[in-house]
A and B are shown apart, each in its own frame.
Chain A
Amino acid sequence: MSRPIRILVAKAGLDGHDRGAKVVAAGLRDAGMEVIYTGLHQTPEQIAEAAVQEDVEVVGISSLAGAHMTLFTRVLELLKEAGAGHIMVVGGGIISEDDIVGLEKRGVAKLFGPGTELPVIVDWIVKAVDAQRAEAAKE
C-alpha cells in the first residue's frame, strides 16, 4: 500500500468561519490521510512556512470572507519562492465561479464550492496526488 497523503488544512486571513475546514479535515483524516490543521487567522506566510516544514503534498485553504483572491495568490507565490512550487494548492469556501476560474488560472489546482460532498474531495485529492507521484517517479 502506498504511503498516506500528507495535507495541510489552513484557515487563511481574518475569517473565523471554521466549520467547513474542520469538517473537511475530519473527513480527510477518516479517509486515511495525515492531516495537519493550522487553526485560525493564518497569514499566507504562516501557511507557506507550515506547508514546507510539515513536508506536505497538498495545502487546502478555506476562505469564507471574500479575501480569497489576495490570500490564495500570495500563498502560491510564497511556495514558489520557497522552492516548494510542487506542493499542490486546493481550496474551498464562498468563492464565485468567476473567481474560481481566475484562481485556477493563477495556479490553484482545484476549488470546491459550497455543497461539495466529502467523497468528491477525497477522490479528487487521491487521484491528483497519485498522478503527481507517478510524474515524480518518472523524473
Chain B
Amino acid sequence: MTKKPPDKDYDAAKKKWEDELASPKCRQMHDRFETISFREIKPLYTPEDLGHEVPEDYMDELGFPGQHPYTRGVHPTMYRGRTWTMRQFSGFGTAKDTNKRYKYILEQGGTGLSVAFDMPTIMGYDSDHKRSEGEVGKCGVAVSSLADMETLFDGIPLDKVSTSMTINGPAAILWAFYIAVGEKQGVSSDKLRGTIQNDILKEYIAQKSWIFPPRPSMRLITDIIAYAADNVPQWNTISISGYHIREAGSTAVQELAFTLADGFAYVEAGIEAGLDVDKFAPRLAFFFDAHSDFFEEIAKFRAARRIWAKRMKNKYGAKDPHSWTLRFHTQTAGCSLTAQQPENNITRTAFQALSAVLGGTQSLHTNSMDETLALPTEKAVKIALRTQQIILDETAAASTIDPLAGSYFVEKLTDEMEEAAEEYFRRIDELGGVIPAIEKGFPQREIADAAYRFQRALESGKRVMVGINKYFEPGEKVTIDLLKIDPRVDEECRENLRSLRESRDNKKVKQTLAALKKAAEGTDNLMPKILDAVRAYATLGEIVDTLKSVFGEYIETPIF
C-alpha cells in the first residue's frame, strides 16, 4: 500500500528522475536486476515503498539520484548505468617496468590507470640529483622528462584510457609531459581524460610533499584550471584529497571538513582569478579514504555530496548542476592494514571497498595485502582487483541506488557528519581561511592529536586491531612474497638522463626555460611556457629549479 506523497516538489523531482531513467542516455546494463534468488531489485527505494509518508525535509536532505543535494548519488542510474572505475594505483622502478605493469592491469580488466611516482619526482628532483640517491623508483615510478613519460605510456593509446596521476607540487609539469605524449601519439588534448591530484593544500596539511610556498602554488593551480577549461576540457584539474589527511591520523569528520574546506578554497581562488565558477567547478573531483568503520564511512561520503552541493549552489552561486556534484575516487585505508597476519588485510579491504560502493564512489582503488611491507606483488594486486569484481558481480550491492538511505542510523550519522564539518568550517573561517589556518598549524595539530589519541586507545585496548593488540601470534614470521625493486633502477635512470641531456637541443632548452622564468615573474598563464620547455625535453628538475628561482621554497615549522 502506498500513501500519496504530500509535496509537489517531490512529485516533480520524482517525475524528472523517472524521465531521466527512461531516456536513452541513461541506458542500464540489464533489463532486469535481481537478487541471487531471482527477486526483482528496483533502481531506487523511497519511504513510499514501505507505505510511509515522505518526511518534510526529504527534498532538502536527500532528494533523488542525480539531483540536488545529491545525497543519494550523482547519477540518475548510479551503478546500474555505469559501474565505478576500478582504478589500481601503481608505479615502481623505471618507466619501462611500470609500463609492463600497466599493460598487465588493463589485460586483467582494470578500467583506468593511476600513476604512482617516486619520491624524487613528487618533490621535483631529477633521478640524477643528489637528493634522489637511494630513492629512485622505490615507492613509485621515476619520471624526469618527456622521454620517460613516452616510455611509461608506450603502446597505451591515450584516447582509450583515463589516467590519474598522483602528483601535486610539480603537477603542471607532469601534466605537460602527458599532454605532450598525447601530441606524439596524435591524440589532441581535448580527447585526453584523466585526473591530476594537484591538491597542494592537503600537502601542507598532511602529505607533506610540497615544493613552493602556498601562494605561488595556488597560482600554478589556477593556471592549470584556466588552461584545462580552454584546452583539456575532459580533464579533472584537481583531485581534492581527504585520503592523506585520514592516513595521517585524522578522524572521519576532520577528513571530511578539511577536504571540503580545501575545495572551497580552490573555488574561491578560481573566482578571484576571474574565472566563471561554472566553467571550472565541474572539473573538480575528490578523493576520500575508506576506513574500517563501515557505517561512519558511508555517512561521510553521503554528507560530502550534500555539503558540496548546498554550498556550491547557495554560497558560490554556481548554476550548472555539474558544479554541484561531488564526484569522488576512493582508496581503502592503508593505515588500517597490518604487517602481522597480512592475509587479514584482504578482508579489511573488502569491507572498506564495500563501504565506498554503498557510499556511491565513482572510482575505487583496493589496497593489496602486502602494502605495509613493500610495494605490492602482481598476485596481491590481482586479489585486490578481484575483491572489487566480487563486490560488483556477486554481492548485488550495486544493483540499487543508495541502498542505505532511510536507515535511521545512517541518516543520523550523515546529519551529524554534516553538522560537525560545518563547525570546523566556522573555526577555519575564524582563523582567516584555509591558508592562514595552515600557516598557524591548525589542521596539522588537530590531525597529530587525533593520531596520538588513536594510538593511545589502541594501547589501552579500547580500540582493537586484529593481529596487533588482540589475536596476535607471537613469533609470527611473514610468509608472503614481497616485491623487490631492482637495484639497477637508480643507474638506469641516471644513464637515461645523461644520454637525454646529450642528445637534445640544449640551446632550445635554455631558451624555453628563460621564457618560463620571465612568465613566472609576471602574471601570464604558465602552462604554455611549461609545455614549450617540456617539448624541448627540459627535465622536471630543470623546470622546477627555474620556478624555484622565482617562487622560493616552502619550509614547515616542525610540531608534534
CB within 8 Å of B: which residues of A? Answer: 9, 13-19, 21-23, 25-27, 29, 35, 37-41, 43, 65-67, 69-71, 74, 94, 96-97, 113-115, 117-119
Interface string of B356-377 (1 = CB under 8 A from A): 0000000000000000111100
Inter-subunit contact A94/B372 (CB<8 Å): yes
- Assuming the contacts A66-B139, A70-B134, asked whether A113 and B452 have C-beta atoms less than 8 A apart, the reply is no
- Assuming the contacts A14-B123, A97-B478, asked whether A65 and B138 have C-beta atoms less than 8 A apart, the reply is yes
Pick the contact of A118: B123, B338, B459, B468 (CB < 8 A).
Answer: B459
Inter-subunit contact A117/B459 (CB<8 Å): yes
Inter-subunit contact B458/A66 (CB<8 Å): no
Inter-subunit contact A67/B556 (CB<8 Å): no
B186 smallest CB distance to A (angstroms): 36
Inter-subunit contact B134/A37 (CB<8 Å): no
Name B140's closest neighbour in chain A (CB-CB).
A65
CB within 8 Å of A: which residues of B? Answer: 119-120, 122-123, 125, 131-135, 138-139, 203, 207-209, 247-249, 335, 338-340, 372-375, 448, 451-452, 455, 458-459, 465, 467-469, 477-478, 482, 485, 556-560
Docked complex Cα distance between A39 and B444 (Å): 13
Inter-subunit contact A69/B134 (CB<8 Å): yes
Chain A positions within 8 Å of B375 at CB level: 66
B560 smallest CB distance to A (angstroms): 4
Inter-subunit contact A13/B558 (CB<8 Å): no
Docked complex Cα distance between A70 and B451 (Å): 29
26 intermolecular pairs with C-beta atoms under 8 Å apart: A9-B560, A13-B134, A14-B123, A14-B131, A14-B132, A15-B139, A16-B203, A22-B452, A22-B559, A26-B452, A37-B558, A39-B557, A43-B131, A65-B138, A65-B139, A66-B375, A67-B135, A67-B138, A94-B373, A97-B477, A114-B372, A114-B373, A115-B339, A115-B465, A115-B468, A117-B458
- Assuming the contacts A38-B558, A65-B139, A70-B133, asked whether A15 and B459 have C-beta atoms less than 8 A apart, the reply is no
- Assuming the contacts A13-B119, A13-B134, asked whether A39 and B558 have C-beta atoms less than 8 A apart, the reply is yes
Inter-subunit contact A27/B135 (CB<8 Å): no
A18 smallest CB distance to B (angstroms): 6
Chain A positions within 8 Å of B374 at CB level: 66, 94, 96
Chain A positions within 8 Å of B132 at CB level: 14
- Assuming the contacts A14-B131, A66-B138, asked whether A19 and B469 have C-beta atoms less than 8 A apart, the reply is no
Docked complex Cα distance between A56 and B317 (Å): 57
Docked complex Cα distance between A15 and B477 (Å): 27
Docked complex Cα distance between A41 and B213 (Å): 15
Pick the contact of A96: B139, B208, B373, B477 (CB < 8 A).
Answer: B373
Docked complex Cα distance between A18 and B245 (Å): 11
**Listed residue (A26, A66, A94) with the most chain B CB atoms within 10 angstroms of its CB:** A66
B557 smallest CB distance to A (angstroms): 7
Docked complex Cα distance between A17 and B119 (Å): 11
Inter-subunit contact A40/B560 (CB<8 Å): no
Pick the contact of B122: A14, A21, A40, A71 (CB < 8 A).
Answer: A14
A51 smallest CB distance to B (angstroms): 16
Chain B positions within 8 Å of A114 at CB level: 338-339, 372-373
Inter-subunit contact A40/B469 (CB<8 Å): no
**Listed residue (B335, B465, B477) with the most chain A CB atoms within 10 angstroms of its CB:** B335
Pick the contact of A22: B123, B335, B372, B451 (CB < 8 A).
Answer: B451
Docked complex Cα distance between A41 and B247 (Å): 19
Inter-subunit contact B133/A23 (CB<8 Å): no
Inter-subunit contact B340/A71 (CB<8 Å): no
B293 smallest CB distance to A (angstroms): 18
Docked complex Cα distance between A114 and B338 (Å): 7
Chain B positions within 8 Å of A118 at CB level: 455, 459
B125 smallest CB distance to A (angstroms): 7
